[in-house]
């Protein structure tokens, strides 16, 4: 969910008619004060995100200590659970932990523990599991966000979430995506129990995201070992340096790096100057990478020679990634041995996608895969290709 709460309180946005004597600003002010005083919290979380055809479910246990920390600096975090698709068999487990100095993530597909030294980790480092952490648990600064001046909020009748009495605030941004957020917070502790967000996707369909928090404890004291992810039997520890060598901020020009494309000689980025380039970092063990490939293949076929799609194989034990792609029905070129290039781009999670415009500048970047993310990518490509 976007980081919205304090922005609304501080910016003094218009409040609609209240369903009780307490206004939306009163309730959100209490949320701000509760977040400022939070030092430790643990809970069970379930996030359901429904698009046009499928519903993704994240469910797990979350523990955080030494809060608040600006964008997680100084905090300790553990998230463990699984990802599934509603009505479909199979679950993908996840386990991530940050002890204040070092981040570790279990990679079940290749039986590795990915280890990253990160004194300034950032919420994005946690990838998809990080969606189970509401941003205002982490710092008051994280609550600021850009909202349209015309946003309104109102109080709705009280409700219960998992037997916890809650006040309800609805925030209507009146923005282009028609985004509406319904927030249920505990009457006693003013902490969130359910966050529902509805908005229009780039293609006009409705997306509904509901995060539910249960069994919340704010007085637990965890031993330091709780936030240290020890390798399970048979797992190897693999270090990864997340510090990028390239400046990948939007609008920044990239250096003329060299890459080895399967079936051809080494190629520099400058060879594609005047065209739009899409780089997708992937690995054969990554289920999200495999899920993204049909969409990336369709994109490469749809735009002709003005668009170059390159799959960059990285951090993979696959001996013949080009053949692997062909077996997946993919025809766009594959960059071999792309792990060092992934480090240069600061890639911490895959699939990671970068759009490079005709002048060699970063036009778009994202990590992960979902239909909604791919639609954002399509929009970015269309904008880069426009005359």
Distances (CA, A) of 172 to 16, 154, 169, 274, 341: 10, 9, 10, 42, 42
Highest mean pLDDT: which of 10-14, 32-36, 40-44? 40-44
Stretch 178-185: mean pLDDT, rounded? 89
pLDDT reading at 33 higher than 90: no
Closest CA to 316 of 296, 336, 288, 301: 336
As assigned by CATH, the class of the 5-217 domain is: mainly beta
Which range among 103-107, 131-135, 382-386 shows the weakest confidence by mean pLDDT? 131-135
How far is it, in rounded angstroms, from Cα 366 to Cα 355?
A: 9
> CATH says 243-385 is which class?
alpha beta
Mean pLDDT across the chain = 81
**Higher per-residue confidence, 385 vs 15:** 385
**Per-residue pLDDT, 18:** 39
Phi, psi at 307, each rounded to 5°: -120, 130
Cβ proximity of 185 and 192 under 8 Å: yes
The share of the chain scoring above pLDDT 90, in percent, equals 31
**Which residues contact residue 240 at a Cβ distance below 8 angstroms, ignoring those fewer than 6 apart?**
114, 115, 116, 315, 343, 348
Angle of helix 287-302 versus helix 371-385 axis, rounded to 10: 30
Contact 76, 68 (CB under 8 A): no
Residue that has been written with the tokens 């194989």 in this structure:
313
Question: Kind of pairing, strands 180-186 and 192-200?
Answer: antiparallel
Where do the structural domains in the chain lie, given as residue ranges? 5-217, 243-385
pLDDT of residue 203 exceeding 80, the answer is no
Query: What pLDDT, in 10s, does the model give residues 225-258?
Result: 999 999 899 888 887 655 566 777 888 888 888 8
| Cβ 385 vs Cβ 307: under 8 Å | yes
Per-residue model confidence as pLDDT tens digits over 159-179: 999 999 999 999 887 766 688
Looking at per-residue pLDDT, the higher value among 359 and 248 belongs to 359
For residue 119, what pLDDT band results from cuts at 50, 70 and 90? low
Pairwise CA distance, residues 273 & 277, whole Å = 9
For tokens 């966050």, name the residue. Answer: 195
Cα dist from 123 to 76, 84, 88, 311, whole Å: 12, 22, 29, 26
Per-residue confidence band for 19, with pLDDT thresholds at 50, 70 and 90: very low
pLDDT at position 169, please?
A: 92
Q: What is the mean pLDDT of residues 329-357?
A: 86
pLDDT in tens, 260-299: 888 887 788 888 989 999 999 998 877 778 888 888 999 9
């Amino acid at each position: 969910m976007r980081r919205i709460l304090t922005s609304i309180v501080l910016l003094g946005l218009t409040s609609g008619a209240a369903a009780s004597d307490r206004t939306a600003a009163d309730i959100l002010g209490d949320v701000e004060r509760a977040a400022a005083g939070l030092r430790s919290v643990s809970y069970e979380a379930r996030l359901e995100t429904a698009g046009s055809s499928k519903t993704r479910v994240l469910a797990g246990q979350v523990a955080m200590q030494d809060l608040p920390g600006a964008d997680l600096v100084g905090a300790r975090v553990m998230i463990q659970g699984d990802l599934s698709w509603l009505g479909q068999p199979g679950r993908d487990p996840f386990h991530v932990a940050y002890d204040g100095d070092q981040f570790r993530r279990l990679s079940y597909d290749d039986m590795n523990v990915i280890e990253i030294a990160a004194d300034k980790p950032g919420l994005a480092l946690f990838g998809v599991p990080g969606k189970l952490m509401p941003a205002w648990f982490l710092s008051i600064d994280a609550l600021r966000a850009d909202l349209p001046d015309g946003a309104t909020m109102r109080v709705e009748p009280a409700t219960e979430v998992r037997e916890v009495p809650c006040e309800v605030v609805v925030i209507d941004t009146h923005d282009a995506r028609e985004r509406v957020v319904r927030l249920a917070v505990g009457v006693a502790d003013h902490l969130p129990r359910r966050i529902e967000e509805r908005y229009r996707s780039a293609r006009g369909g409705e997306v509904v995201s509901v995060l539910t928090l249960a069994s919340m404890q704010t007085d637990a004291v965890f031993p330091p070992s709780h936030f240290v992810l020890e390798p399970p039997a048979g797992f190897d520890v693999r270090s990864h340096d997340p510090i990028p060598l390239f400046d990948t901020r939007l609008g920044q020009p990239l250096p003329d790096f060299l890459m080895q494309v399967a079936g051809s000689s080494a190629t520099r980025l400058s060879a594609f100057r005047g065209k739009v380039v899409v780089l997708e970092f992937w690995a054969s063990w990554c289920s999200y990478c495999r899920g993204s490939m049909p969409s990336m293949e369709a994109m490469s076929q749809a735009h002709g020679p003005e668009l170059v799609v390159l799959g960059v194989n990285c951090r993979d034990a696959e001996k013949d990634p080009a053949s692997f792609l062909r077996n997946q029905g993919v025809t766009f070129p594959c960059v071999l041995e792309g792990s060092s290039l992934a480090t240069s781009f600061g890639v911490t999670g895959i699939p990671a996608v970068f759009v490079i415009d005709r002048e060699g500048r970063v036009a778009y970047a994202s990590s992960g895969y979902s239909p909604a993310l791919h639609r954002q990518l399509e929009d970015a490509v269309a904008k880069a290709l426009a005359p």
